[in-house]
Structure 1
Amino acid sequence: MMRPMTLMESGDSSAQISLKDLFQGTKEVQAVSTTSLEDIAFLICRGGWPKAIGLPEKIALQQAINYVDSTIAVAYDGVQRNPERVRSLLRSYARFTATDAKISRIHQNIVANDTPISYDSTASYINALKQLLVIEDLPAWSPKLRSKSAIRSSDVHHYVDPSIASVALGASPADLLNDLETMGLLFESLCVRDLRVYAQSLDGMLYHYRDKSNLECDAVIHLRDGSYALVEVKLGGAQIDTAATNLKKLANKIDPSQMKRPTFMMILTAGQYAYRRDDGICVVPLASLGP
């Protein structure tokens, strides 16, 4: 499928840190990103639409708005769908970006915002948006564990590009900077967008992991040869230690007699510096990552 451009393709990532090199065992993890938090907010809202690349900010942001408007028109065209309901669904779906909320909860959110729609219609609209490659949820990973643990099998919700969510929410770059919780979720979606493409270039797939003990891993890059990497996404540097703890917990849950150990573990950030921690976990700015 044709996807929006990654930060590397749009010239917004230096790609100094290569996923291929990490899978091949490189120990060298050093880079400095000049991309600021303000830049990241803009890149989320601009998206990876080719027509937006290199344009002045206001015109570039308009491209994502145009894409959402055309999506609503296509979803409505020739089918008995209400365009305002499509817009309302896009907004509610955006509110649950990077979560595994049930469709029933998304439906309740739509209804709570004064849009009358049946559950079946909500499910039908979501399915149509998946067929149009607007929604691209992230499937669950099912590793072999040391002990029985109930793995949550629900997909995690993502648009094919985070700019769709920002447009649906009516959020500008400035709005995201004033709401770092929402920005963190959309940043995770930005990372997922790029990781999908980079993983595909290595003949791999992208998944997520969540279990009933609330242990989560935002992204798992799984290659065809059975090697894999565990990835957490953190907007701010203050959360890096927590992310590292979670990664090590998951790695220790995996049964080494049934599966390989992770080739590497990585924390993707919106920060400046790429480095390898004393525990071996890589910390990498998204704007320094490439395939």
Structure 2
Amino acid sequence: MAAYKKRIVDNILSQKLESSGAVLIEGAKWCGKTTTAEQHAKSIIYMDDPAEMGQNIKLAEINPKRLLAGDTPRLIDEWQIAPQLWDSIRFTVDHRDSLGQFILTGSAVPADRSKVHHTGTGRFSWLTMRPMSLWESGESNGEVSLRSLFEAPVFIDGQNGLNIDDLAFLICRGGWPRTLGMRREAALRQAENYYDAVVNNDISRVDGVDRNSHRAHRIMRSLARFQGSQTSLATIREDIVTNDVETIHAETVSSYIDALKKIFVIEDSPAWNPNLRSKAAIRTSDTRYFIDPSIATASLGAGPDDLINDLNTMGLLFETLCVRDLRVYAQSLDGNLYHYRDSNGLECDAVVHLRNGQYGLVEIKLGGDSLIADGKKTLKALSDVIDTTKMKAPSFRMVLTGTGNYAYRDEDGSYIVPIGCLKD
């Protein structure tokens, strides 16, 4: 068995166990939730073990205490199979009056919420886990820390070890832990296998609604084409109908997308709403992203060579990769990721906003001097319209790139950082 590769959420999980009775880890299948939770647990029950699943579900109904008995923290893996356990865990946490009692993992929102009667407020903490960032998988050297940029250093230094071919492969391979150490061809097939599982099984299992795999494929393919945009449901429907002879209703598209969110395949980026000096109206639509860029390439049937031959598409999917990594890094800083767009056409790909009110502005560019210059110009324009009498000025402006040999601070104060140099 391969040695465990430490994840950024390990420290976050330890902190949450020190302050909560139970911690729920949610995220996409195969992103490593169970393996990470196992590192912290003293006892474990796998609810979806085929040999025990029927008995586990029955016990959850008639004698949940038996399932919860064991050394703590006790891991309840895929707890959503028996959602009534939630109330039993809450009750047990209350009566033991002790912290760090349980770790729950789940790769889907429970289908039957009627069996959950209490919110868990004050007893549970929530932790979202995503596929591996490039720093976690070892492809980024981590010479530039996102945390350090909030201190506005006058000098940064890093040398990028990734080229355009490396990036095309990493976009298609994705951040799935099981791909590490695999042969290149086998690693690329993992994303295809994940995609097949979603359209043929998971999208229906999440809530028991029988969904058509062909429709799921068409919807995911359309979503892949609109990565990094604020495209409406109506436009997605039109795209599907245009590229297929079969019609589809908007309500159906919405239902499939909601199911994809419930199994953590989609994670849209919410809009950022700063105080502005201008009268521009801030657009509030979410920006559409898959949780990992490899899901988009699998949906499109594209491989690394296809991306190299279509750099416009590669640029969009590179943005999805960067958003994935920024989310992982921001989480370790107790922050969140947003996007910005206003009625004047001013856009910013990512805003890393911390709980203490600090924030950094990020433009994502695959590479090239002209694109980097455009990114710097956008960041400066947004920085200039923020009303700093009502909120803090940005802690940093960063152009996050794919290619380029070095990380550095430019003469205008912006940071140029290759994704192959970045860490949390």
Mapping for residues 166-205 of structure 1, pairs under 5 Å: 166-205=297-336
Could you report, residue by residue, the CA deviation over 1:159-215 in whole angstroms, capped at 9, with x for unpaired residues?
000000001011100000000000000000100000001001000000000111111
Residue in structure 1 matched with residue 165 of structure 2 by the alignment: 38
Structure 1 residue aligned with 2:238, among 108, 130, 141? 108
Residue in structure 1 matched with residue 213 of structure 2 by the alignment: 83
Shifted more, 104-113 versus 278-287: the winner is 104-113
SS at match of 2:136: coil
Residue in structure 2 matched with residue 49 of structure 1 by the alignment: 176
Structure 2 residue aligned with 1:254, among 386, 394, 404? 386
Answering whether residue 247 of structure 2 is matched by residue 120 of structure 1, we say no
1:186 corresponds to which letter in structure 2?
A: L
Residue in structure 1 matched with residue 131 of structure 2 by the alignment: 4
SS at match of 2:129: coil
SS at match of 2:215: helix
Residue in structure 1 matched with residue 354 of structure 2 by the alignment: 223
Could you report, residue by residue, the CA deviation over 1:62-91 in whole angstroms, capped at 9, with x for unpaired residues?
010111111111113431211110011100
Bigger relative contact order (CA 8 A; separation at least 6) = 1
Which ranges of structure 1 fall in alignment gaps of 5 or more residues? Answer: none
Answering whether residue 395 of structure 2 is matched by residue 263 of structure 1, we say yes
Question: What is the CA–CA distance in structure 1 between the aligned matches of 2:219 and 2:247, rounded to whole Å?
Answer: 11
Structure 1 residue aligned with 2:279, among 148, 163, 178? 148
Aligned-residue offset at 1:111: 1.3
- Paired residues, what number? 291
SS at match of 1:9: helix
Aligned-residue offset at 1:34: 1.5
SS at match of 1:8: helix
SS at match of 2:190: helix
Could you report, residue by residue, the CA deviation over 1:137-178 in whole angstroms, capped at 9, with x for unpaired residues?
000000000122111111111000000000101110000000
Which ranges of structure 2 fall in alignment gaps of 5 or more residues? Answer: 1-127
Look at both structures and tell me which one has the larger radius of gyration over its CA atoms: 2
Residue in structure 2 matched with residue 99 of structure 1 by the alignment: 229
2:417 corresponds to which letter in structure 1?
A: V
Could you report, residue by residue, the CA deviation over 1:204-252 in whole angstroms, capped at 9, with x for unpaired residues?
0000001111111000000001000000000122311111011000000
Question: What is the CA–CA distance in structure 2 between the aligned matches of 1:54 and 1:148, rounded to whole Å?
Answer: 52
Q: TM-score, normalised by structure 2?
A: 0.68
Question: What is the CA–CA distance in structure 2 between the aligned matches of 1:285 and 1:236, rounded to whole Å?
Answer: 9
Structure 2 residue aligned with 1:27, among 154, 163, 185? 154
Structure 1 residue aligned with 2:420, among 274, 279, 287? 287
Aligned-residue offset at 1:117: 1.6
1:276 corresponds to which letter in structure 2?
A: R
Answering whether residue 349 of structure 2 is matched by residue 212 of structure 1, we say no
Runs of 4+ with >4 A deviation: none
Structure 1 residue aligned with 2:373, among 227, 241, 256? 241
Question: What is the CA–CA distance in structure 2 between the aligned matches of 1:147 and 1:38, rounded to whole Å?
Answer: 42
SS at match of 2:408: strand
Question: What is the CA–CA distance in structure 1 between the aligned matches of 2:187 and 2:224, rounded to whole Å?
Answer: 20
Aligned-residue offset at 1:2: 2.0
Question: What is the CA–CA distance in structure 1 between the aligned matches of 2:419 and 2:364, rounded to whole Å?
Answer: 9
Shifted more, 26-35 versus 163-172: the winner is 26-35
Q: TM-score, normalised by structure 1?
A: 0.98
Aligned-residue offset at 1:53: 1.3
Question: What is the CA–CA distance in structure 2 between the aligned matches of 1:83 and 1:39, rounded to whole Å?
Answer: 32
